[in-house]
Amino acid sequence: MNTIKKNTKPTLLSGIQPSGNLALGNYIGAMRNWVSLQKDYNGIFIVVDMHAITVKQEPAQLRKRCLSFAAQYLAAGIDPQENIIFMQSHVPQHAELAWVLNCYTYLGELNRMTQFKDKSKRHNDNINAGLYTYPALMAADILLYQTDLVPVGADQKQHLELTRDLAMRFNNAFSPTFKVPEPFIPKEGARIMSLQEPEKKMSKSDSNENNYIALLDPPDVLVRKIKRAVTDSGREITPDSMKNPGTGNLLTLFAVLSELTPKQTIQRFEGKQYSELKDELADALIAFLEPFQKRYDKILSEKDYLTNILEEGAEKAQYIARKTLSKVYRKIGFVAPGRS
Ligand code: TRP
């Protein structure tokens, strides 16, 4: 009997802005979850280049970084056979749906977005309209694909709430059109903090490169960054070290890389000097990142390989996106092309 297996897996979608260098925080907070969830979901992973230009970018660098990010998604273990990986700007439906959603988003909603407020402070010479309406573009990214689950960091929760509100608003105003997505926010436990200022999150867009571990940092840079990382003024690891922002962050990093619980990590280091923790952590980082970097180099050395994956990804994405967008256009009253 000819049985066609129906694909019933739910859809998972996420994206990272190609700004700065992908950092260990991105891997632990996001990409690692993408990889572990991919067998149970249809994964859609986007390099959101259109979001990146809401702050100033140098064109040559942006171009290079976009490809580098896609290669790093693959190097992290996203299987291009099983998932859709593409550049946002290769799928014009994102901009198109974003426009429609802009017309259903209230200024009051955008005014509340904390990321807009933060970024306007940090880039106060360039508070542009795109930065302001960016949440509508993000909602379009998600809603085009009838997404079930969106794994994001806690800082994106507000944008996801707005996405859900927009989906419900549209569905109520017309008829069910969009699936209302659920956020997937990893547990606080594994939050990786800045190496120099451990009160704030490790961020790839940090202006101080010593604050984060880039996934592509070579071994000597890794060693240097860990050596310079701040700890408290003590010398030896005690059970209380976990509570100190700097020392605790290094212990957490070690725990995550070695798949140990915080308790096991303390047991392992109790009574040891901070310098020993740093040496062991640097070794663990190198061992962890080396195979990743090898895979990355291999992917980039086969130029067509990546180009083909992105081309295929954009095609598959457009196929889904077109369906949603044409429904939207019909419901809001646009005349279908070729039919008057
Ligand atoms: N706004 C997200 C961030 O800054 C990136 C992003 C854009 C995204 N579109 C998305 C994340 C869709 C998840 C789903 O981190």
Q: For 273, phi and psi rounded to 5 degrees? A: -75, 155
Structural element, H or E, at residue 86: strand 84-87
CA pair distance 140, 162, nearest whole angstrom: 11
- C-alpha distances out from residue 73 to 15, 65, 76, Å: 10, 12, 5
> In this structure, what token pair is assigned to residue 30?
């996001």
Ligand 1 centroid–CA 16 distance in Å is: 6
Query: From the candidates 6, 56, 117, 119, which is the catalytic residue?
Result: 119
Torsion of CA 26, 198, 160, 317, to 10 degrees: -10
**pLDDT above 60: residue 259:** yes
State in Å: Cα 237 to ligand 1 middle: 38
Pocket of ligand 1 (CB under 6 A): 13-15, 17, 48, 51, 138, 141-142, 150, 152, 156, 159
Residue 243 falls in the annotated catalytic set: no
Q: Which two tokens stand for residue 233?
A: 């003024």
Ligand 1 atom 14: residue of nearest CA: 14
3-state SS, 268-300, equals HHCCCEHHHHHHHHHHHHHHHHHHHHHHHHHHH
Q: In one letter, which amino acid is 50? A: M
Quote the percentage of the chain above a pLDDT of 90: 82
pLDDT of 296 higher than 50: yes
- CA–CA distance, 174 with 170 (Å, rounded to integer): 6
Position 189 pLDDT exceeds 80 = no
CATH code reported for the domain at 11-185+303-332: 3.40.50.620
On the question of a common fold for 11-185+303-332 and 209-296, the answer reads: no
Distance of alpha carbon 131 from alpha carbon 119, whole angstroms:
8
In angstroms, what is the span from residue 141 Cα to ligand 1's centroid? 8
Q: What 3-state DSSP class applies to 31?
A: helix
High-pLDDT (> 70) share of the chain, %: 96
For residue 88, the ligand 1 atom closest to its alpha carbon is: 9
Could you tell which of 37, 50, 51 is best to mutate to test the pocket of ligand 1, judged by most ligand atoms within 8 Å of the CB? Answer: 51
pLDDT greater than 50 at residue 90 = yes
Which atom of ligand 1 is closest in space to residue 51's alpha carbon? 7
Residue to substitute in 22, 66, 149, 152 for testing ligand 1 pocket (most ligand atoms within 8 angstroms of CB): 152
Q: 41 is written with which tokens?
A: 């979901």
- Provide the token pair at 14: 């996420």
User: How much distance in Å is there from the Cα of 67 to the middle of ligand 1?
Assistant: 17
Are 237 and 269 within 8 A, CB to CB?
yes
C-alpha 34 chain-centroid distance: 9
Catalytic residue flag (residue 263) = no
Cα of 152 to ligand 1 centre, how many Å?
Answer: 7
Q: What's the number of CA atoms in the CB half-sphere (13 Å) around residue 254?
A: 25
Contact between 15 and 45 under an 8 Å Cβ cutoff? The reply is: yes
Looking at residue 1, its pLDDT comes to: 47
Q: Is 204 a catalytic residue?
A: yes
CA–CA distance, 325 with 93 (Å, rounded to integer): 7
- Of the residues 13, 14, 160, which should be mutated to test ligand 1's pocket, given the most ligand atoms within 8 Å of the CB? 14
Integer-rounded Cα Rg, in Å, for the chain is: 22
How many angstroms separate the alpha carbon of residue 15 from the centre of ligand 1? 5
Residue 339, phi then psi, degrees to nearest 5: -130, 115
Q: Is 77 left (phi over 0), alpha (psi -120 to 50) or beta?
A: left
Q: Beginning with the edge strand found earlier in the chain, give each strand of the sheet holding 11-16 in spatial order.
A: 84-87, 42-47, 11-16, 149-151, 182-184
Q: pTM for the whole thing?
A: 0.92
Measured CA angle at 183 (ends 170, 330), to 5 deg: 20
Residue 205, pLDDT above cutoff 90 = no
* pLDDT tens by residue, 2-33: 455 566 899 999 999 999 899 998 898 889 88
Q: What tokens does 12 get?
A: 């998972």
Residue 57 pLDDT exceeds 80: yes
Classified as helix, coil or strand, 64 is helix
The residue-averaged pLDDT of 230-244 equals 91
Backbone angles phi, psi at 235, to 5 degrees: -130, -30
Q: Provide CATH code, domain 209-296.
A: 1.10.240.10
Residue listed under structure tokens 């040891």 = 272
Q: Which of residues 316 and 155 earns the better pLDDT score?
A: 316
Every domain of the chain and the residues it spans: 11-185+303-332, 209-296
Q: Which of 201, 263, 298, 316 is catalytic?
A: 201
Q: Which residues pair with 269 in a beta bridge?
A: none
